[in-house]
């Protein structure tokens, strides 16, 4: 009997290297299967050419362990897809890191004797010798841990709960937090079955699954009944991250979790526009009244049973202290991958509250994924963009990189520039202005966003298009008016800066033209594509164009920004602009590179 094709070694897509990096051959027949399975325990690093690079990291393995993966299951996937086998050193690291999840458990003290100190303290329990030895070895833990008579157990002050988890995560020992939560002030939150406009409403099946996964203990967190004492009806659930694509309804997941928990809630969002969109959604889809939902931003200071605040204001000591004093039982971190470093301190202090982080990507450009893991929690639920696209919940998207030659003399100026100026000069290439005009003409009648990093470039493009420009200097009320005009079609083209990267609901946008970006930010690429992923009423595709100056740092950074999208299954067409008007056929949108 001939061998099955899937068992032919040369068709296996994966090359496992001894340093833990994984090379995935996009031309191998097993590529799609390998890519989908690797996403559970590895993160993408770069995607040039035929070989895409992934890396197995401690945080990616801790997330896998929290979801119930065992070392044997990870190894089975690697061995099944590996072209040349799996180095023993990789197998050992996988076993060690997954074993560490659950080797340290933080829980309420079961031996409280009635004194105020022992009533409130927590216990950190080591479940294996390596974890116990690590705690004894590191002096940085001496200030936040108190030794007990049991060499495997330490006492933790409640206020140090987050600090202990942060320090141990940095040392490579994640803590399984089973210490339970403060419920906060009760609040009845009922989800409507009919929205304000009279249309029917219900959570989608995957949104319900996301809520359930957040509230329930994950398979990797199941422990014996004795350790579950005092954890409440949801066990160790109630902290962690939900990963959904832009347009997938992360706000609805937050509302669903609020309704299930029924307690005073603090929601932290990226800016005033996002704050107001949260409030609009809450009032539209729950029976809460306007008097029960408050905005806490630069414009308004309302503390109410459900308070929606900006990250920026929450980082200021005076306001941060105010939030800490409130009896919020539940905190939602919108776009948690952007959690500002100054807010880590408050987040560490608020560990007794249930915490939901929501994002389209767990990637942090500052490399502090372990901070999010330790303070917010592990990944509880993820739904890939392509899965939602196949079900019609987000628009089908096509991406096209248009390579633009530099204006005369620009290449020499870029070569002679230093540091960030090299990228800025290349990204601001004035030839891009003409390409934008071509694309606007091609897509006349559609809702088009032109988005970029540099204000001088955006002002120049806006002037050429005779379109309004929206930047951080535009007052919030004027921003809201421009967004409203865009939604209703009175203003079909809007030029926007980075202020529109996050949490801006423009459901009718079908085309996004990116003229410049934040260096190699994968976060930003994902967010900008997300501006046009809302499903369209007529079923049309979303088109995402990136304009790149060839043979410059602009092209180098554009490649980096594609990494996250490639991981999700999107591919880019590439077209060259030769200094003359383009037509749709020249863009090669139906082809994939």
For position 110, which CATH number holds? 3.30.70
The β-bridge relationship of strands 448-451 and 511-514 is parallel
On whether residue 19 sits in a domain, the answer given is yes
Task: Give the pLDDT score at 246.
Answer: 75
Measured between alpha carbons, how far is 187 from 265 in angstroms, rounded to an integer? Answer: 9
3-state secondary structure of 210: helix
User: Total domain count for the chain?
Assistant: 4
Q: What is the pLDDT of residue 386?
A: 72
439 within domain boundaries: yes
Please indicate, yes or no, whether residues 406 and 294 belong to a single structural domain of this protein. no
pLDDT at 47: 66
* Per-residue pLDDT at 501: 58
- C-alpha span between 586 and 571 (Å, rounded): 17
Contact 131, 102 (CB under 8 A): no
| 483 lies in the same domain as 527 | yes
Are 238 and 378 members of one domain? yes
Q: Is there a single domain that holds both residue 92 and residue 158? A: no
Residues in the chain: 593
Task: Please check whether residues 210 and 166 belong to one and the same domain.
Answer: no
pLDDT of residue 458: 94
The CATH number of whichever domain residue 451 belongs to comes to 3.40.50.300
Same domain, 281 and 269: yes
CA 144 – CA 154 distance, rounded (Å)? 10
User: What is the predicted pLDDT for the residue at 185?
Assistant: 94
Collapsing DSSP states into helix, strand and coil, what is residue 143? coil
Q: Is the distance from CB of 461 to CB of 522 less than 8 angstroms? A: no
Positive or negative, the CA dihedral 470, 473, 478, 479 is positive
Same domain, 365 and 423: no
Same domain (yes/no): 250, 353: yes
Q: Is residue 184 part of a domain?
A: no
What does the DSSP assignment read for 306-374? EEEEEHHHHTSHHHHHHHHHS--SEEEEETGGG--GGGHHHHHHTTTSEEEEEES----TTS-HHHHHH
pLDDT of residue 113: 46
How far is Cα 167 from Cα 50, in angstroms, rounded to an integer?
A: 39
Q: What pTM value is reported for the model?
A: 0.79
Any domain includes 199: no
| pLDDT for residue 187 | 96
| Structural domain range at position 325 | 205-383
Does one domain contain both 431 and 561? yes
Residue 60 lies in a domain: yes
Q: Which two tokens stand for residue 298?
A: 């630069």
In the chain, which stretches have pLDDT less than 70? 1-10, 47-49, 110-119, 217-236, 365, 500-507, 519-526, 535, 537, 560-572, 580-593
pLDDT value for 143: 86
Last residue of a domain, one of 358, 383, 408: 383
> What gap in Å lies between CA 10 and CA 61, rounded to an integer?
28
Q: Is residue 464 located within the same domain as residue 478?
A: yes
N-terminal to C-terminal alpha carbon distance within the chain: 37
Which of residues 50, 74, 100 is at a domain's end?
100
**pLDDT, tens digit, 9 for 90 and up, residues 380-406:** 999 877 788 778 887 788 888 899 999
Indicate whether 236 and 130 sit together in one domain. Answer: no
Contact 552, 414 (CB under 8 A): yes
Asked whether residue 187 is domain-assigned, the answer is: no
In a domain, 190, yes or no: no
- Which of 362, 383, 404 delimits the end of a domain? 383
359/484 same-domain check: no
Is residue 374 a part of any domain in this protein?
yes
Q: What are the angstrom distances between the C-alpha of 458 and each of 433, 448, 495?
A: 9, 14, 7
The pLDDT assigned to 230 comes to 37
């Amino acid at each position: 009997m001939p061998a099955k094709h899937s068992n032919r070694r040369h068709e296996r897509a994966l090359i496992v290297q001894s340093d833990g990096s994984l090379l995935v051959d996009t031309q191998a027949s097993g590529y799609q299967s390998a890519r989908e399975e690797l996403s559970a325990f590895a993160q993408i690093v770069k995607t040039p050419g035929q070989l895409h690079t992934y890396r197995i990291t401690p945080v990616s393995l801790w997330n896998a362990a929290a979801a119930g993966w065992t070392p044997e299951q990870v190894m089975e996937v690697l061995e099944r897809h590996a072209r040349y086998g799996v180095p023993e050193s990789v197998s050992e690291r996988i076993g060690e890191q997954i074993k560490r999840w659950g080797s340290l458990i933080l829980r309420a003290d079961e031996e409280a004797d009635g004194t105020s100190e022992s009533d409130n303290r927590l216990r950190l329990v080591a479940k294996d010798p390596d974890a116990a030895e690590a705690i004894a070895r590191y002096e940085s833990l001496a200030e936040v841990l108190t030794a007990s008579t049991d060499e495997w157990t330490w006492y933790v002050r409640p206020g140090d709960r987050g600090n202990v988890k942060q320090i141990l995560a940095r040392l490579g020992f994640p803590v399984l937090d089973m210490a339970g939560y403060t419920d906060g002030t009760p609040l009845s939150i009922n989800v409507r079955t009919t929205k304000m406009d009279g249309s029917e409403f219900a959570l989608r099946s995957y949104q319900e699954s996301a809520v359930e996964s957040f509230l329930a203990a994950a398979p990797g967190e199941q422990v014996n009944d004795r350790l579950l004492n005092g954890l409440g009806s949801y066990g160790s659930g109630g902290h962690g991250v939900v990963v959904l694509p832009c347009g997938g309804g992360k706000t609805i997941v937050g509302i669903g979790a609020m309704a299930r928990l029924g307690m005073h809630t603090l929601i932290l969002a990226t800016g005033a526009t996002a704050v107001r969109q949260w409030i609009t959604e809450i009032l539209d889809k729950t029976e809460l009244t306007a008097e029960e939902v408050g905005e806490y931003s630069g414009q308004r200071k309302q503390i109410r049973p459900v308070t929606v605040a900006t990250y920026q204001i929450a980082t200021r000591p005076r306001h941060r202290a105010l939030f800490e004093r409130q009896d919020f039982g539940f905190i939602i971190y919108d776009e948690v991958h952007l959690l500002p470093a100054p807010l880590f301190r408050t987040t560490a202090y608020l560990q007794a509250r249930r915490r939901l982080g929501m994002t389209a990507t767990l990637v942090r450009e500052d490399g502090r994924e372990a901070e999010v893991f330790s303070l917010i929690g592990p990944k509880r639920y993820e739904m890939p963009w392509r899965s939602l696209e196949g079900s019609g919940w987000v628009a089908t998207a096509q991406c096209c990189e248009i390579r633009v030659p530099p204006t005369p003399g620009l290449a020499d100026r870029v070569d002679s520039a230093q540091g960030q100026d090299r990228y800025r000069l290349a990204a601001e290439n004035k030839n891009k202005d003409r390409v934008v005009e071509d694309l606007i003409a091609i897509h006349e009648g559609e809702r088009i966003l032109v988005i970029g990093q540099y204000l001088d470039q955006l002002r120049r493009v806006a002037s050429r298009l005779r379109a309004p420009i929206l930047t951080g200097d535009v007052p919030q009320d004027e921003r809201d008016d421009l967004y409203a005009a865009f939604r209703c079609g009175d203003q079909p083209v809007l030029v926007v800066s980075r202020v529109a990267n996050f949490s801006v609901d423009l459901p009718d946008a079908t085309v996004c033209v990116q003229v410049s970006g934040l260096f190699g930010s994968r976060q930003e690429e994902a967010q900008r594509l997300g501006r046009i992923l809302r499903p369209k009423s007529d079923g049309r595709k979303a088109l995402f164009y990136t304009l790149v100056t060839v043979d410059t740092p602009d092209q180098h950074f554009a490649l980096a920004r594609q990494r996250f999208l490639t991981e999700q299954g999107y591919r880019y067409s590439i077209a060259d602009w030769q200094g003359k008007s383009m037509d749709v056929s020249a863009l090669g949108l139906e082809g994939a590179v």
